[in-house]
Chain A
Amino acid sequence: DQQVKQNSPSLSVQEGRISILNCDYTNSMFDYFLWYKKYPAEGPTFLISISSIKDKNEDGRFTVFLNKSAKHLSLHIVPSQPGDSAVYFCAASASNTGFQKLVFGTGTRLLVSP
């Protein structure tokens, strides 16, 4: 059973517009959430994270929103740039596991066209 779901395998956006990537989770014990970006032939690169005590975290063009009641988080990229084209993974962990066991979604491929 997949505990972290990214239901959109792909997303296409025009340069300058907003990209919104979504992620849903089922485990209510998750309390830390991360977004990673992955280019072909490279490992995932940490992008931004959010703790369950917050509902928003912003870093430059990237903002992550967390809705705990809906068990949903989203990553907003504004404005989108062609260099943002990559696969984006959502991940979650629960602090009660005793160690950082990250559970990943299957990823969303973002394509930003000029």
Chain B
Amino acid sequence: QVQVVESGGGVVQPGRSLRLSCAASGFTFSSYGMHWVRQAPGKGLEWVAVIWYGGSNKYYADSVKGRFTISRDNSKNTLYLQMNSLRVEDTAVYYCARDLREAGSTIDYWGQGTLVTVSS
């Protein structure tokens, strides 16, 4: 069965960096786009970034552009989110999610999320 499992969350000070990972299994990882979506405490869902199946196309929310980088290693079935210059407002549960297709579509499967807390 399709499974995506996030890791790497934790507490980090403002201005520091953190890298999230998402291990995928149960499907041909290299054939699907992958997304990151976040949810601040008590708030709604916010789409963060997407990477197409081959890794060559990446798109970001305005709120993270220039600070976050999405990447993937298809040989390891793993998705990443490198988060730099973190701000208090980046505090959220970060979800890894599979695209319905190889590129440019919406989400079909979600992970359980990993909590990132940015605080001094």
A joins B in a complex: no
Residues in A lying within 8 Å of B, measured CB to CB: none
